[in-house]
Amino acid sequence: MRSKIRVKICGITNKQDMDAIIKYDAYYAGLMFFEKSPRFVETKLARQLSLHAGDKIKKVAVAVNPDTRFLDEIVENVPLDFIQLHGEETPERVKEIKLKYQLPVIKAIGISEAKDLKLVSIFSEVSDQLLIDAKPPKSSILPGGNGLSFDWNLIKNIEFDCPWLLAGGLNSKNAVNAIDLTGATQLDLSSGVERSPGVKDENKIASFMSSI
């Protein structure tokens, strides 16, 4: 594994999978708080997983257009290192959440064509990190985690003004190409290391981590 590459594995739903991603040196664990996702975890389970992991990995709460009451419950009960916003949150909402919870915020941005990149500069000013993902199909109920890539050439010459993660259809077969083409130093994936939605595969995790 290239020492400078940090990996976020999202959609952790059980202690066995948490142990596996820690074993293979993932840097972040994503806990999904979006009820329509097959990787959804309730607050009680998320707390158990976070406490189980301790300080061995950075815990990221992934939420979609969350209201303040919802975030209050998560932050008060689950030890976290980051909040990831994966909906249609505005820059003002990002700033509000950062101020209220005093946690760094990762803002996800869906990309399918060049015009989508205007959001990169807008959210770079208010976010601690960006997650650059494939824009979901209009028919999808999920804002991410669809296992789809976008045209990485769209971002290969971009100078990002804040740290960022590349997401969307990553797996052990395309990760190196993604890194070489985009210059990404952080990768985010979920389905690429799963046996089924919400259930990770330790062999796929090992293969992915050794591929980079």
Confidence of residue 4 (pLDDT cuts 50, 70, 90): confident
Q: Going by C-beta distance under 8 Å and a sequence separation of 6 or more, which residues neighbour residue 108?
A: 84, 85, 86, 130, 131, 133, 143, 144, 167
What is the average per-residue pLDDT within 59-74? 98
Q: Is 17 a catalytic residue?
A: no
Percentage of the chain exceeding pLDDT 90 = 88
Tell if the pTM clears 0.75, that is, is over it: yes
What is the average per-residue pLDDT within 102-128? 95
In CATH terms, 6-211 corresponds, of 3.40.1370.10, 3.20.20.70, 3.30.1490.70, 3.40.50.2000, to 3.20.20.70
Residue of 133, 180, 188, 201 with catalytic role: 133
- Domain segments of the chain as ranges: 6-211
Angstrom distance (rounded) from CA 168 to CA 191: 9
Q: Is 128 a catalytic residue?
A: no
Q: Tell me what pLDDT residue 149 has.
A: 85
What is the overall mean pLDDT for the chain? 93
Q: Give the residue with greater pLDDT, 135 vs 58.
A: 58
Phi, psi of 74 (to 5 degrees): -65, -50
Q: Residue 148 above 90 pLDDT? A: no
Residue of 10, 17, 72, 161 with catalytic role: 10
Let me know: does 3 contact 190? Beta carbons within 8 Å. Answer: no
Estimate to the nearest angstrom the gap between the alpha carbon of 150 and the chain centroid.
16
